[in-house]
Amino acid sequence: MKRQVVIIGSGPAGWTAGIYAARASLQPLLLEGALSAENQEKNTLPMGQLALTTEVENYPGFPTGDLSQYLQTSLDAERLAYLAPHAKKGVTGPELMELMRQQAIHFGTEVISEDAVKIEPGETSHKVHASDGTVYEADAVIVATGARANWLNLPSEAAFKNRGVSACAVCDGALPRFRNQPVAVIGGGDSAMEDAIYLTHFASKVYLVHRRNEFRASSIMVQKALNNPKIEPVYSYVVKEILGEEKTGVTQVALQSTQGEADKTLDVSGVFVLIGHTPNTDFLQDVVELDSHRYIVRPQPGRTMTSVEGIFAAGDCADSIYRQAVTAAASGCMAAIDAERWLLKRN
Ligand code: NAP
């Protein structure tokens, strides 16, 4: 059956697009992704990057407090069973995503647990191929497939994720484990500078570890970082291993020189890996215009249209700058409204 709107992606942008499109009576179908080994390997499991984090303290509407009663009454028992016991304060990333999912379903979004593997753009409608071979035809498609943080791919990095290893200072930097403790930021781009500066609000010291002797970031960001007395650059070193204990998490990072100098070990409670992101747009190559970093181009500033009529983009797959849950959710809303108005005008 032909759909008015197919949404691809199950992060904050996808679910928000689902909520808005369903409330606009567009009966959206949302491909939330598959729980496959391949997606696990690539860090592209359903529910997006928030599903990989712990506490979320910066999403408006979820202040510190005990949400356990609310979660028990608002989520299906089966879905609730996926979540870690919630005996503390505030909301976690996985809980927030489950709540958004429930909200989208409540208004009538139909959810399919498959990946979109291909879009075939057409003159009057587009075909979305799912990983189980089903082809969905849609008047409008909203792509909200997010991005994945690049990792160093060290076993010790994987072992300490969410226990001192993070790829987002804005998401995790204010957690108690980093407060008044030294931390390391890995990377030399604008994200590394920005997050290192952000972390100085909480950490006692921030080591900025870069593999070359010159940062890639814009000079204004580099100057800002280097002028901060809490930031100490560590040039020409790469991470050899992240060290820690089962119970406490990260305690040290072992570094290897890229210039033949002696190895060194830094005492840190956290390692923030900021070596870039990869938007989940591989399946869109040759479909819509992508920029040089493979983010979807939205030619009209402030709008969610892509280079192809009837295909809209929301969230981190089209945003290399803000990359926050709240900005992704907002752009999901915008994409649903843009799609609704475009459909109205066309029909
Ligand atoms: P990026 O510019 O691609 O920088 C990634 C950094 O990580 C580079 O310094 C790179 O080193 C390093 N790196 C990559 N792989 C590594 C590895 N395996 N081990 C160690 N280091 C590694 O990524 P980004 O900083 O996320 O920025 C992405 C885009 O967003 C950029 O266009 C940036 O300007 C933009 N951005 C803008 C702002 C802002 O304007 N406020 C803030 C954030 C991001 P090399 O330099 O040696 O390649």
Give the model confidence (pLDDT) of 216-247 as tens digits.
999 999 999 999 999 999 999 999 999 999 98
Nearest CA residue ID for atom 48, ligand 1 = 216
Is residue 276 in contact with ligand 1, taking CB distance under 6 Å? yes
Nearest CA residue ID for atom 16, ligand 1 = 275
Active site residues per annotation: 168, 171-172
| CA 288 from centroid of its chain's CA atoms | 21
Phi, psi of 105 (to 5 degrees): -65, -40
CA of 65 to the centre of ligand 1 (A): 36
Is residue 271 in contact with ligand 1, taking CB distance under 6 Å? no
Residue 180, helix vs strand vs coil: coil
Q: Report which ligand 1 atom has the smallest distance to the Cα of 190.
A: 25
Q: Which two tokens stand for residue 284?
A: 């869109």
The answer to whether the CB of 268 falls within 8 A of the CB of 180 is no
CA of 93 to the centre of ligand 1 (A): 25
pLDDT of residue 109: 98
Q: pTM to 2 decimals?
A: 0.79
CA of 37 to the centre of ligand 1 (A): 28
Is residue 233 in contact with ligand 1, taking CB distance under 6 Å? no
CA of 198 to the centre of ligand 1 (A): 16
Rounded Cα–Cα distance for residues 90 and 101 (Å): 18
Dmax over CA atoms of the chain, in Å, equals 68
Each residue's pLDDT tens digit, 256-292: 999 999 999 999 999 999 998 899 999 999 999 999 9
